[in-house]
Amino acid sequence: MTQSTRPGGVLRFWKLSGPGARLLAPIVPFWVVLETTGRQSGQPRRKPLARGITEGGQMLLVSVHGRRADWVRNIEADPRVRLRTGLRWRSGIASIELLTPQQLSRFSSYIRSVAGRFAMEGTEQVLVRIDTAASSR
């Protein structure tokens, strides 16, 4: 497992605020919940994320922590995911690619500002493309 470079207080904040964010995500229009399969446990793992760009049957999300993020590593192990937007769940297949500045410019100012902060730390950010038209459960 990759060691975190974040201060302990930040990690504790994320651990405490995560469950609340998962509950609020269905009613907050700028959040989505991504469900992956744990790469070691095989259990469902849910992660609230800033809503990305929707293109036809695809949703584009940004991982500001790059491939170090647990949810990205889960996708690398099993690309089948579920995505909750509002009250609706959709199944899909996720793929990961490096995030280019041109792609980042299409996202909201919130995502761009967060991505900019982590870019200063040398994190190689990735674009996660979820194709909800490719899979159905």
Q: How many domains does the chain have?
A: 1
Judge whether 16 lies within some domain: yes
Does this model's pTM top 0.85? My answer is: no
Query: Residue 50 is inside which H or E element, if any?
Result: strand 44-50
Assess if residue 116 is contained within a domain.
yes
Q: Enumerate residues 6+ apart whose C-beta is below 8 A from 56.
A: 133
Asked if residues 37 and 47 have their Cβ atoms less than 8 Å apart, the reply is no
> What's the CATH number where 81 sits?
2.30.110.10
Domain that holds residue 126: 8-131
CA 89 vs. chain centroid, Å, equals 15
So what's the pLDDT on residue 81? 97
Task: Extract the tokens encoding 44.
Answer: 């469902």
Asked if residues 98 and 127 have their Cβ atoms less than 8 Å apart, the reply is yes
With CA atoms as reference, report the closest residue to 85 among 39, 51, 47, 125: 51
Asked, for residue 113, whether it belongs to a domain, the answer is yes
Can you give the pLDDT at residue 137?
44
* pLDDT of the residue at 76: 97
| Both structure tokens of 53 | 């760009």
Q: Do the domain assignments include residue 137?
A: no
The per-residue pLDDT string of the chain (137 residues; one tens digit each, 9 = 90 and over) reads 455 555 555 556 556 666 666 666 666 677 889 999 999 999 999 998 888 888 888 999 998 888 888 999 999 999 999 999 888 999 999 999 998 888 888 888 777 777 777 665 667 889 999 999 865 44
Asked if the structure places residue 2 within a domain, the reply is: no
